Amino acid sequence: MRLLIDFFPIALFFGAYKFYDIYVATGVLMAATLVQTGLIYAIDRRLQTMHKVTLVLVVVFGMLTLLLHDERFIKWKPTVLYGSMALVLGAALWGWGKNFLQMLLGSQLQLPAAVWSRLTVIWIGYFVFMAAINAYVAAYYSTEDWVNFKLWGYVFPVIFIVGQGLYIARYLSAQDNNPDTTPEPPHE
């Protein structure tokens, strides 16, 4: 169910783009993200910081896209999101000596401090990779190609989830090995 909630804004965006254009698709993405956020809040009775940041960026970059009639804004939104997350995690870990990932997920996962540090570095690398690949596709490919990349590029978060699950599985005891506790990458 959660995967469906996470995936439906991008699926609706893709469908709206294929039947209409990037501007209709942007409006659909904005509305779907609002609905998605509402559903997550209804289920969990709270929103994670990532959900709030994603909603704000979708609305701000979506409004800029629609008001200025410039598709570059919505195309660069994922790069800004991923780049910001990499900067925040990196600055917290290396600048302030804080591990935000552990602070966010530590109540769900009991891992050694060194594992939390490595996991945070892995997340930073993932965010940098996703920011870079989106920036490259947004800058050097057509809007059609970028939209297709947004749909089929969803394989990267899936690979990341599986990879981090395999990495942390060896540190979890059998009683703590619950699939609901595996951290998820951010949604667009």
Q: What is the DSSP letter of 46?
A: S
Residue 188 lies in a domain: no
Please give the backbone phi and psi of residue 119, each rounded to the nearest 5 degrees, phi first.
Answer: -65, -40
Tokens of 184: 């998820």
Residue 21 has pLDDT above 90, yes or no: yes
Residue 27 lies in a domain: yes
Residue ranges making up the domain that contains 158: 2-181
Residue 135 lies in a domain: yes
**What is the pLDDT, as a whole number, of residue 31?**
97
CA angle 17, 43, 14 (to 5 degrees): 10
Residue 156 lies in a domain: yes
d(CA 24, CA 66): 9
Over range 69-88, report the average pLDDT.
94
Residue 26 lies in a domain: yes
Residue 23 lies in a domain: yes
d(CA 57, CA 63): 10
Residue 106 has pLDDT above 80, yes or no: no
Confidence at 186, pLDDT banded by 50, 70, 90 = low
Residue 187 lies in a domain: no
Write the pLDDT tens digit of every residue in 158-182. Answer: 899 899 888 888 887 643 545 554 5
Write the pLDDT tens digit of every residue in 136-146. Answer: 999 999 999 99
What percent of the chain is predicted at pLDDT more than 70? 89
Write the pLDDT tens digit of every residue in 145-158. Answer: 999 998 888 789 88
**Which of the two residues, 64 and 98, has the higher pLDDT score?**
64
Tokens of 156: 């990267």
**What is the pLDDT, as a whole number, of residue 183?**
56
Helix or strand holding residue 135 (H, E): helix 113-140
Residue 53 lies in a domain: yes
Q: Domain count for the chain, please give it.
A: 1
